[in-house]
Structure 1
């Protein structure tokens, strides 16, 4: 008799839901761990006729479906998803005569941009020689090596960058789809969660010894219209696809 063991691998996709409609599927990259958890709130009733106070009925009041997993690929869309943020494309722009005040030797100063080009500094009307400072154009910082008597101004052009805010967008919903293969049997498994909302609670490590992994978690929300179809279910369904 064949053993129905299971060992799943596969691809995960998210589709942003706008006005109740799931949009284009987006593959979220390698996902080394992912699991579903079914929760319930139950009330147990004990009978009082046998003298044993046994449980003779269980009322299930509420149900829930939670998910948790890890993402490894952090493109712009995944970063926004992990951080519950909003992404803005910031265009290149000129900055003229940004006032830095009187600078101190050894003090590192942050300018207003990244990937800077055409950077110059003036002390009053006099240009500051490049030997008097060290510029990190990528991060937009500068260290002056000596005190400059007059107030310093900076002029430069900022580079185009992508900016993602942190913990600023908690309302997005996504349909989740899993295309799985059971490597134990060669069959396939599909999983749909009709409506999911990610929890804003997460950890975002900034230092790594190996490849970074980013934890995500959240819950599936019920879809009452799909729940009317017993093959679809309120939260979603699992479809077993036999091996060809």
Structure 2
């Protein structure tokens, strides 16, 4: 008789739930690790008919299903999921006369935006302000920082004008109540059989770490959360309160 071992590989999908309805599935990229854990509290009964006080009944109470795994692909949707946050598009804008205060030579200053263009710096000379020569400005256009290498003869405060580029801001821990249906399409590497996983409702734990430096390795980001029950499924035990695994036989 053949040994039935599994070495699963596959694809994970999340569907955000709104008003009790799961939306379109979103593939979340490579998931090198994922596991489900079942936890419960135990109520034990000890008989008193013998001198040994043996346990003759166990009641499993407060059943909990949790999951944990790792994500590798960091698109903006996965980033928001990992950080339990929300994505906000920040539109391009034109900034005029941003007050930079008293600027010290070779001091790096952060302007209000990223992907800057049309950057000019002027001083506060009354009547006709002096425009700082571009040769005295070191601009990090991508990150929106400047260094003015020489402020000799300039009247403070300096003022900046520029145009910013559109970016996406992802907030931290601002979407803690989000729920997702989770679906897995799995293939057994050993025998080629298929297995699926459905978790009807999941909520991700806001506890997270997000390493910013990775050395010579690809970044991996831990996720963990809880599968929430759907009590209406009590009417159909094949569905399961939390979800189920599906073993899919080969087509006849």
Task: Report the TM range for the smaller structure's normalisation.
Answer: over 0.9
Partner of 1:14: 14
The CA distance in 2 between the partners of 1:221 and 1:49, in whole Å, is 41
* SS of equivalent to 2:245: strand
Partner of 2:224: 217
Offset of residue 228 of structure 1: 2.1
The CA distance in 1 between the partners of 2:104 and 2:25, in whole Å, is 53
Equivalences for 1:1-244 in 2 at 5 Å? 1-124=1-124, 125-148=129-152, 149-150=154-155, 151-209=157-215, 210-244=217-251
The CA distance in 2 between the partners of 1:2 and 1:227, in whole Å, is 36
The TM-score, its normalising length taken from structure 1, stands at 0.98
Unaligned stretches of 5+ residues in structure 1: none
User: Is the Cα–Cα contact under 8 Å of residues 227 and 235 in structure 1 kept in the other structure?
Assistant: no
* SS of equivalent to 1:81: helix
Offset of residue 147 of structure 1: 3.2
The CA distance in 2 between the partners of 1:80 and 1:134, in whole Å, is 33
Offset of residue 170 of structure 1: 0.2
> Once superposed, which parts of structure 1, at least 4 consecutive aligned residues long, lie more than 4 Å away?
none
Offset of residue 123 of structure 1: 1.2
Query: CA-atom RMSD, angstroms?
Result: 0.9
Offset of residue 185 of structure 1: 1.6
The CA distance in 1 between the partners of 2:160 and 2:169, in whole Å, is 23
* Residue deviations 1:9-29 (CA, integer Å, cap 9, x gap): 000000000000000000000
* Residue deviations 1:84-110 (CA, integer Å, cap 9, x gap): 111111111100010101100121111
The TM-score, its normalising length taken from structure 2, stands at 0.95
* SS of equivalent to 2:10: strand
The CA distance in 1 between the partners of 2:24 and 2:111, in whole Å, is 39
Unaligned stretches of 5+ residues in structure 2: none
